[in-house]
Structure 1
Protein backbone atom coordinates (compact mmCIF):
# COMPACT_ATOMS: atom_id res chain seq x y z
CA UNK A 1 0.00 0.00 0.00
CA UNK A 2 1.45 3.35 -0.99
CA UNK A 3 1.39 5.85 1.82
CA UNK A 4 1.07 9.63 1.66
CA UNK A 5 3.82 12.01 2.52
CA UNK A 6 3.34 13.60 5.92
CA UNK A 7 0.90 16.40 5.34
CA UNK A 8 -0.15 15.07 1.93
CA UNK A 9 -3.57 13.89 0.81
CA UNK A 10 -4.99 11.32 3.19
CA UNK A 11 -2.76 12.33 6.10
CA UNK A 12 -3.89 13.76 9.42
CA UNK A 13 -4.78 17.44 8.86
CA UNK A 14 -2.38 18.66 11.56
CA UNK A 15 0.63 17.32 9.69
CA UNK A 16 0.46 19.80 6.82
CA UNK A 17 0.37 22.71 9.28
CA UNK A 18 3.28 21.36 11.31
CA UNK A 19 5.31 20.64 8.22
CA UNK A 20 4.84 24.24 7.13
CA UNK A 21 5.91 25.41 10.61
CA UNK A 22 9.10 23.37 10.68
CA UNK A 23 9.99 24.28 7.09
CA UNK A 24 9.65 27.96 8.03
CA UNK A 25 11.79 27.40 11.14
CA UNK A 26 14.46 25.63 9.10
CA UNK A 27 14.48 28.38 6.48
CA UNK A 28 14.79 30.98 9.24
CA UNK A 29 17.68 29.13 10.89
CA UNK A 30 19.57 28.98 7.61
CA UNK A 31 18.73 32.59 6.73
CA UNK A 32 20.29 33.55 10.04
CA UNK A 33 23.65 32.37 8.69
CA UNK A 34 23.94 35.30 6.31
CA UNK A 35 27.61 36.05 5.77
CA UNK A 36 28.58 32.37 5.75
CA UNK A 37 30.89 31.29 2.91
CA UNK A 38 28.44 30.99 -0.02
CA UNK A 39 29.33 27.48 -1.17
CA UNK A 40 29.07 26.10 2.36
CA UNK A 41 25.71 27.76 2.94
CA UNK A 42 24.43 26.50 -0.42
CA UNK A 43 25.45 22.96 0.51
CA UNK A 44 23.67 23.25 3.87
CA UNK A 45 20.50 24.47 2.18
CA UNK A 46 20.77 21.63 -0.34
CA UNK A 47 20.91 19.13 2.52
CA UNK A 48 17.96 20.56 4.44
CA UNK A 49 15.46 22.17 2.09
CA UNK A 50 15.13 19.79 -0.86
CA UNK A 51 12.37 17.59 0.54
CA UNK A 52 12.26 14.78 3.06
CA UNK A 53 9.50 13.21 5.11
CA UNK A 54 10.09 15.44 8.17
CA UNK A 55 9.15 12.44 10.30
CA UNK A 56 11.28 13.52 13.26
CA UNK A 57 10.01 17.09 13.66
CA UNK A 58 6.45 15.88 13.11
CA UNK A 59 6.94 13.45 15.98
CA UNK A 60 8.12 16.33 18.15
CA UNK A 61 5.02 18.36 17.35
CA UNK A 62 2.66 15.39 17.72
CA UNK A 63 4.12 14.39 21.08
CA UNK A 64 4.29 17.90 22.45
CA UNK A 65 0.75 18.83 21.46
CA UNK A 66 -0.64 15.52 22.77
CA UNK A 67 0.98 16.33 26.13
CA UNK A 68 -0.29 19.91 26.24
CA UNK A 69 2.46 22.07 24.67
CA UNK A 70 1.73 25.06 22.47
CA UNK A 71 2.94 24.76 18.89
CA UNK A 72 5.28 27.75 19.16
CA UNK A 73 7.09 26.03 22.02
CA UNK A 74 7.88 23.16 19.68
CA UNK A 75 9.27 25.01 16.64
CA UNK A 76 12.88 25.16 17.88
CA UNK A 77 13.13 21.52 19.03
CA UNK A 78 11.40 20.34 15.85
CA UNK A 79 13.83 22.27 13.65
CA UNK A 80 16.81 21.14 15.72
CA UNK A 81 16.03 17.45 15.39
CA UNK A 82 15.62 17.81 11.61
CA UNK A 83 18.94 19.66 11.33
CA UNK A 84 20.61 16.85 13.26
CA UNK A 85 19.00 14.32 10.92
CA UNK A 86 20.15 16.27 7.86
CA UNK A 87 23.72 16.34 9.16
CA UNK A 88 23.65 12.58 9.66
CA UNK A 89 22.44 11.98 6.10
CA UNK A 90 25.19 14.17 4.62
CA UNK A 91 27.85 12.19 6.46
CA UNK A 92 26.20 8.78 5.92
CA UNK A 93 26.22 9.38 2.15
CA UNK A 94 29.97 10.08 2.00
CA UNK A 95 32.21 7.64 0.09
CA UNK A 96 33.87 6.58 3.36
CA UNK A 97 30.45 5.57 4.75
CA UNK A 98 27.52 4.40 2.59
CA UNK A 99 28.87 6.00 -0.62
CA UNK A 100 25.52 7.05 -2.07
CA UNK A 101 24.96 9.42 -4.98
CA UNK A 102 21.21 10.03 -4.58
CA UNK A 103 19.21 11.44 -1.67
CA UNK A 104 15.62 12.76 -1.76
CA UNK A 105 15.73 12.46 -5.55
CA UNK A 106 18.70 14.84 -5.76
CA UNK A 107 22.48 14.38 -5.98
CA UNK A 108 23.92 13.87 -2.51
CA UNK A 109 25.83 16.80 -1.04
CA UNK A 110 29.27 15.35 -1.71
CA UNK A 111 28.32 14.67 -5.33
CA UNK A 112 26.98 18.21 -5.81
CA UNK A 113 29.61 20.09 -3.79
CA UNK A 114 32.57 17.80 -3.22
CA UNK A 115 33.58 15.74 -0.20
CA UNK A 116 35.34 18.50 1.71
CA UNK A 117 32.37 20.86 1.52
CA UNK A 118 30.00 18.00 2.41
CA UNK A 119 31.96 17.23 5.57
CA UNK A 120 31.93 20.90 6.56
CA UNK A 121 28.22 21.22 5.75
CA UNK A 122 27.40 18.24 7.97
CA UNK A 123 29.50 19.64 10.80
CA UNK A 124 27.86 23.05 10.46
CA UNK A 125 24.35 21.56 10.42
CA UNK A 126 25.05 19.71 13.66
CA UNK A 127 26.26 22.95 15.25
CA UNK A 128 23.20 24.77 13.94
CA UNK A 129 20.95 22.11 15.48
CA UNK A 130 22.29 22.88 18.96
CA UNK A 131 22.28 26.63 18.38
CA UNK A 132 18.64 26.42 17.31
CA UNK A 133 17.62 24.28 20.27
CA UNK A 134 19.39 26.66 22.65
CA UNK A 135 16.86 29.35 21.62
CA UNK A 136 13.83 27.22 22.56
CA UNK A 137 11.33 29.21 24.67
CA UNK A 138 11.56 26.93 27.70
CA UNK A 139 12.70 27.03 31.29
CA UNK A 140 16.44 26.62 31.68
CA UNK A 141 16.15 23.09 33.11
CA UNK A 142 13.93 21.95 30.24
CA UNK A 143 16.23 23.53 27.64
CA UNK A 144 19.29 21.79 29.13
CA UNK A 145 17.38 18.50 29.21
CA UNK A 146 16.51 18.87 25.53
CA UNK A 147 20.10 19.70 24.62
CA UNK A 148 21.27 16.62 26.51
CA UNK A 149 18.76 14.39 24.71
CA UNK A 150 19.85 15.61 21.29
CA UNK A 151 23.54 15.28 22.14
CA UNK A 152 23.08 11.71 23.39
CA UNK A 153 21.05 10.73 20.33
CA UNK A 154 23.76 12.01 18.00
CA UNK A 155 26.78 10.56 19.78
CA UNK A 156 28.49 7.30 20.61
CA UNK A 157 25.41 5.94 22.39
CA UNK A 158 23.21 6.91 19.44
CA UNK A 159 23.69 7.56 15.74
CA UNK A 160 27.50 7.53 15.64
CA UNK A 161 27.70 4.36 17.67
CA UNK A 162 25.03 2.73 15.54
CA UNK A 163 26.85 3.68 12.36
CA UNK A 164 30.05 2.17 13.77
CA UNK A 165 28.17 -1.07 14.52
CA UNK A 166 26.72 -0.99 10.99
CA UNK A 167 30.18 -0.65 9.45
CA UNK A 168 31.48 -3.52 11.60
CA UNK A 169 28.51 -5.72 10.66
CA UNK A 170 28.84 -5.21 6.90
CA UNK A 171 29.58 -8.56 5.29
CA UNK A 172 29.24 -10.36 8.63
CA UNK A 173 26.56 -12.64 10.06
CA UNK A 174 25.14 -11.14 13.25
CA UNK A 175 22.30 -12.42 15.47
CA UNK A 176 18.91 -10.70 15.50
CA UNK A 177 19.39 -9.03 18.94
CA UNK A 178 22.61 -7.44 17.67
CA UNK A 179 20.86 -6.17 14.54
CA UNK A 180 18.05 -4.69 16.61
CA UNK A 181 20.55 -2.99 18.93
CA UNK A 182 22.42 -1.58 15.91
CA UNK A 183 19.27 0.02 14.54
CA UNK A 184 17.98 1.13 17.93
CA UNK A 185 21.09 3.31 17.95
CA UNK A 186 21.59 4.25 14.30
CA UNK A 187 17.95 4.94 13.38
CA UNK A 188 15.98 4.69 16.57
CA UNK A 189 17.98 7.07 18.75
CA UNK A 190 17.01 10.23 16.88
CA UNK A 191 13.39 9.16 16.47
CA UNK A 192 13.27 8.54 20.22
CA UNK A 193 14.90 11.93 20.83
CA UNK A 194 12.26 13.59 18.64
CA UNK A 195 9.53 12.15 20.84
CA UNK A 196 11.39 13.00 24.04
CA UNK A 197 11.95 16.61 22.95
CA UNK A 198 8.19 17.04 22.56
CA UNK A 199 7.55 15.44 25.93
CA UNK A 200 10.12 17.65 27.68
CA UNK A 201 8.79 20.81 26.04
CA UNK A 202 5.31 19.88 27.28
CA UNK A 203 6.41 18.97 30.78
CA UNK A 204 4.94 15.46 30.44
CA UNK A 205 4.89 13.36 33.60
CA UNK A 206 7.04 10.28 34.19
CA UNK A 207 4.28 7.81 33.30
CA UNK A 208 3.58 9.43 29.97
CA UNK A 209 7.30 9.59 29.19
CA UNK A 210 7.72 5.86 29.87
CA UNK A 211 4.84 5.02 27.53
CA UNK A 212 6.18 7.39 24.89
CA UNK A 213 9.63 5.78 25.14
CA UNK A 214 8.03 2.38 24.51
CA UNK A 215 6.19 3.82 21.53
CA UNK A 216 9.33 5.47 20.17
CA UNK A 217 11.41 2.30 20.57
CA UNK A 218 8.92 0.28 18.54
CA UNK A 219 8.61 3.08 15.99
CA UNK A 220 12.36 3.29 15.44
CA UNK A 221 12.61 -0.43 14.82
CA UNK A 222 9.55 -0.44 12.55
CA UNK A 223 10.96 2.47 10.54
CA UNK A 224 14.16 0.51 9.90
CA UNK A 225 12.43 -2.79 9.08
CA UNK A 226 10.32 -0.92 6.51
CA UNK A 227 13.45 0.77 5.15
CA UNK A 228 15.11 -2.62 4.70
CA UNK A 229 12.07 -4.00 2.88
CA UNK A 230 11.90 -0.95 0.61
CA UNK A 231 15.55 -1.45 -0.33
CA UNK A 232 14.67 -4.82 -1.89
CA UNK A 233 11.12 -4.05 -3.07
CA UNK A 234 11.24 -0.37 -4.08
CA UNK A 235 12.72 1.49 -7.03
CA UNK A 236 15.12 4.40 -7.00
CA UNK A 237 12.67 6.84 -8.62
CA UNK A 238 10.07 6.30 -5.89
CA UNK A 239 12.52 6.02 -3.01
CA UNK A 240 14.52 9.09 -3.98
CA UNK A 241 17.69 7.14 -3.16
CA UNK A 242 19.48 4.16 -4.65
CA UNK A 243 17.42 0.98 -4.36
CA UNK A 244 19.22 -2.30 -3.73
CA UNK A 245 22.19 -0.58 -2.11
CA UNK A 246 22.04 -2.63 1.09
CA UNK A 247 22.14 -5.90 -0.83
CA UNK A 248 24.95 -4.68 -3.08
CA UNK A 249 27.03 -3.66 -0.06
CA UNK A 250 26.19 -6.84 1.90
CA UNK A 251 24.68 -4.80 4.74
CA UNK A 252 23.12 -6.44 7.78
CA UNK A 253 19.35 -6.06 7.23
CA UNK A 254 16.19 -7.67 8.55
CA UNK A 255 15.17 -9.33 5.24
CA UNK A 256 18.70 -10.70 4.81
CA UNK A 257 18.68 -12.14 8.33
CA UNK A 258 15.10 -13.35 8.83
CA UNK A 259 13.54 -13.06 5.35
CA UNK A 260 10.97 -10.69 3.89
CA UNK A 261 7.89 -12.53 5.22
CA UNK A 262 9.23 -12.60 8.77
CA UNK A 263 10.16 -8.92 8.44
CA UNK A 264 6.56 -8.09 7.52
CA UNK A 265 5.36 -10.14 10.49
CA UNK A 266 7.74 -8.17 12.71
CA UNK A 267 6.20 -4.96 11.40
CA UNK A 268 2.76 -6.18 12.46
CA UNK A 269 4.07 -6.97 15.94
CA UNK A 270 5.62 -3.51 16.21
CA UNK A 271 2.40 -1.86 15.05
CA UNK A 272 0.53 -3.59 17.85
CA UNK A 273 3.19 -2.56 20.38
CA UNK A 274 2.93 1.07 19.31
CA UNK A 275 -0.87 1.05 19.55
CA UNK A 276 -0.72 -0.45 23.03
CA UNK A 277 1.88 2.06 24.23
CA UNK A 278 -0.21 5.01 23.06
CA UNK A 279 -3.14 3.83 25.16
CA UNK A 280 -1.14 4.81 28.25
CA UNK A 281 -0.46 8.36 27.03
CA UNK A 282 -2.99 11.00 28.16
CA UNK A 283 -4.29 13.40 25.56
CA UNK A 284 -5.07 13.07 21.87
CA UNK A 285 -2.52 10.67 20.38
CA UNK A 286 -4.25 10.32 17.01
CA UNK A 287 -1.44 12.11 15.16
CA UNK A 288 1.19 9.88 16.75
CA UNK A 289 -0.88 6.89 15.64
CA UNK A 290 -1.04 8.33 12.11
CA UNK A 291 2.75 8.75 12.05
CA UNK A 292 3.15 5.16 13.26
CA UNK A 293 1.02 3.97 10.34
CA UNK A 294 3.03 6.13 7.97
CA UNK A 295 6.31 4.61 9.17
CA UNK A 296 4.99 1.12 8.43
CA UNK A 297 3.05 1.75 5.21
CA UNK A 298 5.26 4.30 3.44
CA UNK A 299 6.63 3.57 -0.02
CA UNK A 300 9.75 5.70 0.36
Structure 2
Protein backbone atom coordinates (compact mmCIF):
# COMPACT_ATOMS: atom_id res chain seq x y z
CA UNK A 1 0.00 0.00 0.00
CA UNK A 2 2.62 2.55 1.06
CA UNK A 3 4.73 1.86 -2.00
CA UNK A 4 1.78 2.66 -4.30
CA UNK A 5 0.91 5.90 -2.56
CA UNK A 6 2.42 9.14 -3.85
CA UNK A 7 2.00 10.66 -0.42
CA UNK A 8 2.66 14.39 -0.37
CA UNK A 9 3.33 14.56 -4.11
CA UNK A 10 0.15 15.99 -5.60
CA UNK A 11 2.21 18.76 -7.21
CA UNK A 12 4.10 16.08 -9.18
CA UNK A 13 0.86 14.84 -10.73
CA UNK A 14 -0.50 16.27 -14.00
CA UNK A 15 -0.83 20.08 -14.02
CA UNK A 16 -4.49 19.79 -15.02
CA UNK A 17 -5.33 17.56 -12.06
CA UNK A 18 -3.48 19.77 -9.60
CA UNK A 19 -5.23 22.85 -10.97
CA UNK A 20 -8.60 21.13 -10.58
CA UNK A 21 -7.91 20.26 -6.94
CA UNK A 22 -6.79 23.82 -6.24
CA UNK A 23 -9.96 25.30 -7.77
CA UNK A 24 -12.12 23.10 -5.55
CA UNK A 25 -10.01 24.05 -2.53
CA UNK A 26 -10.61 27.75 -3.22
CA UNK A 27 -14.36 27.25 -3.45
CA UNK A 28 -14.35 25.35 -0.15
CA UNK A 29 -12.73 28.17 1.81
CA UNK A 30 -14.98 29.64 4.47
CA UNK A 31 -13.16 32.95 4.20
CA UNK A 32 -14.64 36.24 3.07
CA UNK A 33 -12.75 38.52 0.68
CA UNK A 34 -12.60 41.25 3.32
CA UNK A 35 -11.04 38.93 5.91
CA UNK A 36 -8.49 37.74 3.35
CA UNK A 37 -7.61 41.34 2.48
CA UNK A 38 -7.11 42.31 6.10
CA UNK A 39 -5.04 39.21 6.80
CA UNK A 40 -2.61 39.68 3.91
CA UNK A 41 -2.37 43.45 4.25
CA UNK A 42 -1.60 43.25 7.95
CA UNK A 43 1.54 41.22 7.24
CA UNK A 44 3.30 44.04 5.37
CA UNK A 45 5.68 45.52 7.98
CA UNK A 46 5.29 49.21 8.79
CA UNK A 47 9.00 49.86 8.30
CA UNK A 48 8.69 48.81 4.65
CA UNK A 49 5.68 51.05 4.22
CA UNK A 50 7.51 54.06 5.68
CA UNK A 51 10.69 53.75 3.63
CA UNK A 52 11.22 56.76 1.38
CA UNK A 53 11.54 56.50 -2.39
CA UNK A 54 10.48 53.73 -4.74
CA UNK A 55 10.02 50.28 -3.26
CA UNK A 56 11.05 47.05 -5.01
CA UNK A 57 9.04 43.88 -4.49
CA UNK A 58 9.75 40.28 -5.50
CA UNK A 59 6.75 37.95 -5.49
CA UNK A 60 7.52 34.25 -5.90
CA UNK A 61 4.73 31.85 -6.84
CA UNK A 62 2.24 34.68 -7.14
CA UNK A 63 -0.63 32.69 -8.62
CA UNK A 64 -3.27 34.87 -10.25
CA UNK A 65 -2.27 37.92 -8.23
CA UNK A 66 -5.15 38.34 -5.79
CA UNK A 67 -2.95 38.34 -2.68
CA UNK A 68 -0.24 40.35 -4.44
CA UNK A 69 -2.76 43.06 -5.30
CA UNK A 70 -3.50 43.55 -1.59
CA UNK A 71 0.20 43.96 -0.81
CA UNK A 72 0.74 46.35 -3.74
CA UNK A 73 -2.22 48.54 -2.77
CA UNK A 74 -0.93 48.72 0.77
CA UNK A 75 2.50 49.80 -0.46
CA UNK A 76 1.00 52.42 -2.79
CA UNK A 77 -0.54 54.14 0.23
CA UNK A 78 3.02 55.20 1.16
CA UNK A 79 4.95 55.14 -2.14
CA UNK A 80 4.51 56.94 -5.44
CA UNK A 81 5.60 53.88 -7.38
CA UNK A 82 6.40 50.20 -6.92
CA UNK A 83 8.60 47.92 -9.01
CA UNK A 84 7.07 44.45 -8.80
CA UNK A 85 8.91 41.41 -10.18
CA UNK A 86 6.55 38.45 -10.53
CA UNK A 87 7.97 34.91 -10.61
CA UNK A 88 5.27 32.39 -11.50
CA UNK A 89 5.72 29.17 -13.54
CA UNK A 90 2.11 28.84 -14.73
CA UNK A 91 1.27 30.58 -18.00
CA UNK A 92 -2.42 30.45 -17.08
CA UNK A 93 -1.83 32.13 -13.74
CA UNK A 94 0.30 34.87 -15.28
CA UNK A 95 -2.41 35.59 -17.86
CA UNK A 96 -4.97 35.94 -15.05
CA UNK A 97 -2.62 38.15 -13.06
CA UNK A 98 -1.97 40.38 -16.09
CA UNK A 99 -5.71 40.70 -16.69
CA UNK A 100 -6.26 41.63 -13.05
CA UNK A 101 -3.47 44.24 -13.22
CA UNK A 102 -4.98 45.78 -16.39
CA UNK A 103 -8.48 45.95 -14.92
CA UNK A 104 -7.46 47.43 -11.56
CA UNK A 105 -6.64 51.06 -12.31
CA UNK A 106 -5.36 51.58 -8.76
CA UNK A 107 -2.28 49.56 -9.77
CA UNK A 108 -1.31 52.04 -12.48
CA UNK A 109 1.78 53.16 -10.53
CA UNK A 110 3.14 49.60 -10.39
CA UNK A 111 5.80 48.61 -12.89
CA UNK A 112 5.42 44.88 -13.47
CA UNK A 113 8.31 42.64 -14.51
CA UNK A 114 6.88 39.24 -15.49
CA UNK A 115 9.04 36.12 -15.17
CA UNK A 116 7.35 32.85 -16.19
CA UNK A 117 9.76 30.62 -14.26
CA UNK A 118 9.94 28.29 -11.32
CA UNK A 119 11.78 29.59 -8.27
CA UNK A 120 14.74 27.37 -9.20
CA UNK A 121 14.85 28.69 -12.77
CA UNK A 122 14.60 32.27 -11.60
CA UNK A 123 17.44 32.04 -9.10
CA UNK A 124 19.68 30.42 -11.70
CA UNK A 125 19.31 33.55 -13.86
CA UNK A 126 18.86 36.25 -11.21
CA UNK A 127 20.55 39.65 -11.52
CA UNK A 128 21.93 41.96 -8.85
CA UNK A 129 18.63 43.70 -8.04
CA UNK A 130 17.98 44.01 -4.32
CA UNK A 131 14.41 43.98 -3.05
CA UNK A 132 12.86 45.74 -0.08
CA UNK A 133 10.11 43.14 0.22
CA UNK A 134 10.13 39.50 -0.90
CA UNK A 135 7.07 37.32 -0.42
CA UNK A 136 6.56 33.65 -1.21
CA UNK A 137 3.10 32.59 -0.09
CA UNK A 138 2.76 28.81 0.35
CA UNK A 139 5.62 28.19 -2.09
CA UNK A 140 8.25 26.39 -0.04
CA UNK A 141 6.25 23.15 -0.03
CA UNK A 142 7.06 22.73 -3.71
CA UNK A 143 10.66 23.83 -4.32
CA UNK A 144 13.22 21.07 -4.77
CA UNK A 145 15.71 22.58 -2.32
CA UNK A 146 14.08 24.85 0.28
CA UNK A 147 17.42 25.67 1.93
CA UNK A 148 18.90 26.92 -1.36
CA UNK A 149 15.71 28.87 -2.08
CA UNK A 150 15.83 30.58 1.32
CA UNK A 151 19.51 31.39 0.86
CA UNK A 152 18.82 32.88 -2.58
CA UNK A 153 15.96 35.01 -1.26
CA UNK A 154 18.22 36.27 1.53
CA UNK A 155 20.90 37.22 -0.97
CA UNK A 156 18.39 39.26 -3.03
CA UNK A 157 17.04 41.06 0.03
CA UNK A 158 18.18 44.64 0.61
CA UNK A 159 19.51 45.62 4.03
CA UNK A 160 16.51 46.59 6.13
CA UNK A 161 14.22 44.55 3.89
CA UNK A 162 11.72 41.87 4.79
CA UNK A 163 10.81 38.39 3.60
CA UNK A 164 7.26 37.16 4.22
CA UNK A 165 6.70 33.39 4.20
CA UNK A 166 3.10 32.31 4.87
CA UNK A 167 3.09 28.56 5.55
CA UNK A 168 0.79 25.91 6.94
CA UNK A 169 1.60 25.04 10.54
CA UNK A 170 2.06 21.49 11.75
CA UNK A 171 0.09 22.54 14.83
CA UNK A 172 -3.22 22.92 12.98
CA UNK A 173 -5.72 20.13 12.39
CA UNK A 174 -4.83 19.64 8.72
CA UNK A 175 -1.12 19.75 9.54
CA UNK A 176 -1.56 17.14 12.26
CA UNK A 177 -3.54 14.96 9.87
CA UNK A 178 -0.75 15.09 7.29
CA UNK A 179 1.84 14.14 9.91
CA UNK A 180 -0.35 11.23 10.98
CA UNK A 181 -0.67 10.15 7.35
CA UNK A 182 3.10 10.20 6.99
CA UNK A 183 3.50 8.21 10.20
CA UNK A 184 1.10 5.56 8.88
CA UNK A 185 1.96 5.47 5.19
CA UNK A 186 5.07 7.56 4.44
CA UNK A 187 8.36 6.22 3.12
CA UNK A 188 11.73 7.96 3.07
CA UNK A 189 12.23 11.58 4.08
CA UNK A 190 9.05 13.63 4.53
CA UNK A 191 10.98 16.82 3.74
CA UNK A 192 11.58 15.64 0.17
CA UNK A 193 7.80 15.83 -0.38
CA UNK A 194 5.44 18.79 -0.18
CA UNK A 195 4.51 17.80 3.39
CA UNK A 196 6.56 20.63 4.84
CA UNK A 197 5.34 23.02 7.49
CA UNK A 198 6.24 26.34 9.06
CA UNK A 199 8.23 24.52 11.75
CA UNK A 200 10.42 22.91 9.10
CA UNK A 201 11.12 26.29 7.50
CA UNK A 202 12.05 27.77 10.88
CA UNK A 203 14.50 24.89 11.30
CA UNK A 204 16.09 25.67 7.93
CA UNK A 205 16.42 29.36 8.86
CA UNK A 206 18.02 28.41 12.17
CA UNK A 207 20.55 26.26 10.31
CA UNK A 208 21.32 29.18 7.97
CA UNK A 209 21.77 31.55 10.91
CA UNK A 210 18.97 33.82 9.72
CA UNK A 211 16.81 35.46 12.38
CA UNK A 212 13.03 35.60 12.07
CA UNK A 213 9.82 36.08 13.98
CA UNK A 214 6.45 34.38 13.52
CA UNK A 215 3.45 36.61 12.97
CA UNK A 216 -0.01 35.73 14.28
CA UNK A 217 -1.17 32.21 13.56
CA UNK A 218 -4.27 32.36 11.41
CA UNK A 219 -7.00 29.72 11.21
CA UNK A 220 -8.46 28.90 7.80
CA UNK A 221 -11.74 26.99 7.74
CA UNK A 222 -12.68 24.60 4.93
CA UNK A 223 -16.09 23.23 4.08
CA UNK A 224 -15.25 19.53 3.61
CA UNK A 225 -18.83 18.24 3.46
CA UNK A 226 -18.40 16.91 -0.09
CA UNK A 227 -15.48 14.70 0.98
CA UNK A 228 -17.91 12.43 2.83
CA UNK A 229 -20.25 11.98 -0.15
CA UNK A 230 -19.79 8.84 -2.22
CA UNK A 231 -19.08 9.50 -5.90
CA UNK A 232 -18.67 13.25 -5.36
CA UNK A 233 -16.11 14.50 -7.87
CA UNK A 234 -15.52 17.75 -6.00
CA UNK A 235 -15.20 15.84 -2.72
CA UNK A 236 -12.57 13.54 -4.22
CA UNK A 237 -10.62 16.50 -5.61
CA UNK A 238 -10.76 18.31 -2.29
CA UNK A 239 -9.53 15.24 -0.41
CA UNK A 240 -6.63 15.03 -2.86
CA UNK A 241 -5.72 18.63 -2.07
CA UNK A 242 -6.11 18.31 1.68
CA UNK A 243 -3.93 15.16 1.79
CA UNK A 244 -1.71 16.46 -1.02
CA UNK A 245 -1.91 12.99 -2.52
CA UNK A 246 -3.23 12.22 -6.02
CA UNK A 247 -6.29 9.96 -6.20
CA UNK A 248 -6.44 9.56 -2.42
CA UNK A 249 -10.15 8.76 -2.63
CA UNK A 250 -9.40 5.67 -4.72
CA UNK A 251 -7.14 4.24 -2.01
CA UNK A 252 -9.38 2.75 0.71
CA UNK A 253 -6.81 2.85 3.51
CA UNK A 254 -5.75 6.46 3.05
CA UNK A 255 -9.34 7.62 2.42
CA UNK A 256 -10.58 5.82 5.53
CA UNK A 257 -7.80 7.20 7.70
CA UNK A 258 -8.21 10.78 6.41
CA UNK A 259 -11.99 10.85 6.71
CA UNK A 260 -11.93 9.35 10.19
CA UNK A 261 -9.38 11.96 11.28
CA UNK A 262 -11.46 14.76 9.75
CA UNK A 263 -14.63 13.41 11.38
CA UNK A 264 -13.01 13.42 14.84
CA UNK A 265 -11.43 16.86 14.49
CA UNK A 266 -14.03 18.88 12.59
CA UNK A 267 -17.10 20.88 13.55
CA UNK A 268 -20.60 20.53 12.17
CA UNK A 269 -22.23 23.90 11.56
CA UNK A 270 -25.69 23.58 10.11
CA UNK A 271 -25.34 21.26 7.13
CA UNK A 272 -21.59 21.89 6.77
CA UNK A 273 -18.62 19.96 8.07
CA UNK A 274 -15.81 22.43 8.82
CA UNK A 275 -12.15 21.38 9.04
CA UNK A 276 -9.41 23.86 9.91
CA UNK A 277 -5.84 24.64 8.96
CA UNK A 278 -3.55 26.87 11.01
CA UNK A 279 -1.20 29.13 9.08
CA UNK A 280 1.78 31.15 10.25
CA UNK A 281 3.66 33.91 8.50
CA UNK A 282 7.40 33.77 9.08
CA UNK A 283 8.92 37.25 8.86
CA UNK A 284 12.63 37.71 8.16
CA UNK A 285 14.28 41.12 8.62
CA UNK A 286 17.70 41.69 7.13
CA UNK A 287 19.82 43.87 9.40
CA UNK A 288 23.14 43.88 7.58
CA UNK A 289 25.01 40.59 7.14
CA UNK A 290 23.56 37.38 8.56
CA UNK A 291 24.90 36.19 11.85
CA UNK A 292 27.48 33.42 11.96
* TM-score for both structures, normalised by structure 2: 0.31
Q: Which one has a larger percent strand, Structure 1 or Structure 2?
A: 2
Bigger radius of gyration among the two? 2
Q: Which one has a larger percent helix, Structure 1 or Structure 2?
A: 1
